[in-house]
Each structure stands twice: as C-alpha cells, then as structure tokens.
A and B are shown apart, each in its own frame.
Chain A
C-alpha cells in the first residue's frame, strides 16, 4: 500500500458515519449527480451523501471520475 492509500484508509476510519449510502444507492444516483455537476449546479447539496460515499469507497470513486470525464468530454466535443 502506498502512502496515498494509507492516508485514505486512516481518513475513511475517522470519517465513518453511523448511516452511509450503499454502493447500489450510489450507482442509482450517480448519472443524475454527474449531469447536475456538469451543468454547474450544486450537486453535493442536491444529493447529500454522495460526496461522503465517494470519499469512503475508492471503487465507486473510480467509476465517478471516469464518468465525469466522459460526460464533460462529450459536452465539450462539438456535434458534427
């Protein structure tokens, strides 16, 4: 484990909340979350719990990062 992952482990322990969003709930919200974010809206406030799940679950965060880039790139690419 590199230092970044160790830091993530320690932070995820101390940031733990009694109730947290599950991965299936996260994936259900994710497309809406990213659409709002790319539209410049405050997605964090509209979908509470998503940002926390992103901090706690590196695998879901990896999907989020890839999706955000894909949607942003699609938005920026002019239509033929």
Chain B
C-alpha cells in the first residue's frame, strides 16, 4: 500500500508488525537513494571513499537515521511533509559523518588546532604584480592582527579551527564542551568584531575582494 499522507506515515511507523516494517523499508530505500545520489555527485567524497566504503557508509547512516526518526517521531509537528522532515534528519546524519571523516584527514595537516591564522590565507600564491602583491600582504596583515589581538581566545579558536582549518562546528562544540548553537554564536561575535575593526580602518569588502583579484 502506498503511504501518502503524514497521518499514514505516523500510523504506519507507530503500528506493530508488517505495517511498520513496510514503512521502515520505504524510508530506508528513500535514504539510500538520496545518499547514493549525494555521494555520487560529491567529488571530494568520491575520491576519498571506495565504492564499498560508500555503500557501507550509506547503509550505516540509513540505519542510524531510522532509529533517530523512531526516537523523534513525537517531535514531528506535521508542519512539513513527513518525508521532508525525515530526509532532513537522514541527510544531517550522513553529512555529520562525512565531515567527521574529512576532518580526520585534514586535522593531520595542523599541529595546533585553532591557534593562529595562516601566514597567507589562500592556496594561490600572491599576485605577480608587485604592487598588488604588496597590497594583498598589507590587507592580510591587518586581518591577521585583528584576529590575534582583538578577538577573544575563544573567538580566535573557533574562527581559526572552523574557517581556516576546516574543523566542523559539531566537533568544535564537543571539544569545547558546549553545543553547536553556542559555537555559532562565538563565530558570529568574531565576525562582528572583524567587521567593526576593518570598517574602522576604512577597509571594505569590495576593496579586499578587488585586492585579492576575486571578481565573482
């Protein structure tokens, strides 16, 4: 039987026996399809995972998502399609795991996490035009100084770890013994301070992007 409405889904998932089994099977197929599509299109993850690892990851995350959905069923308020709500939870689980794995590789490149901003922020070398290269260096030195001198130690840690080193917000929250919302607030405060300090020095977004030859 086709499960169509939110009420159908809730009834089926709360039912015992075959009806619940069918609903879980349907959800599992949807999640696996979503995960395979995502993993197939994400070039970075495709390079990092063998096809067997990707298959196993999709299976594990689908299973975890089904457990989570059953656990959180009572919190579904019926304001969206049930399948959209369930898929949101499933995708969050997959991406959280992917970010954790990406970070495991990235973290090896950094001897100190959240310590100080890089000497040079982008992968590309400085401009070949000596005058522009000097301007780039001057602007970056100002940004670096603000990060090092005006941000609090916590703001600096979150900004550097997340933005420059690629540590996921959830893992920063775990490390700091807090939650993701609090980490986001710290990052938000760091951005506000950077904006205030740069504006005070008369530096605009357009100017920085122009100096770094970022036009789009």
Contact = CB atoms under 8 A, between A and B. Distances in A.
Nearest to B197: A13
11 contacts: A3-B214, A9-B121, A10-B208, A14-B198, A22-B184, A30-B88, A31-B84, A59-B168, A63-B95, A67-B84, A71-B83
Contacts of B91: 63, 66-67, 70
Nearest to A25: B181
A52 B200 CA distance: 24
Contacts of A9: 121, 163
Contacts of A41: none
B20 interface: no
B37 interface: yes
Given A27-B92, A79-B2, A34 B84 contact: yes
A32 B184 CA distance: 22
Find the residue from A56, A70, A79 having the highest chain B CB count within 10 A.
A70
Contacts of A32: 79-80
B38 A20 contact: no
Interface residues of A, number: 37
A6 B88 contact: no
Range, interface on chain B: 35 or more
A23 B180 contact: yes
A3 B184 CA distance: 23
B80 A35 contact: yes
Contact of A13 (B34, B169, B195): B195
Contact of A16 (B30, B38, B164, B195): B195
B191 A13 contact: yes
Contacts of B164: 1
B188 interface: yes
A20 B188 contact: yes
Given A70-B87, A71-B87, A13 B184 contact: no
Given A13-B194, A63-B92, A69-B37, A23 B181 contact: yes
Given A13-B191, A20-B188, A2 B123 contact: yes
A76 interface: no
A30 to B, nearest CB: 6
Contact of B209 (A7, A18, A22, A59): A7
B192 interface: yes
Contacts of B205: 10-11, 13-14
A16 B87 contact: no
B33 to A, nearest CB: 8
B122 A6 contact: yes
Contact of A70 (B37, B163, B204): B37
B88 A16 contact: no
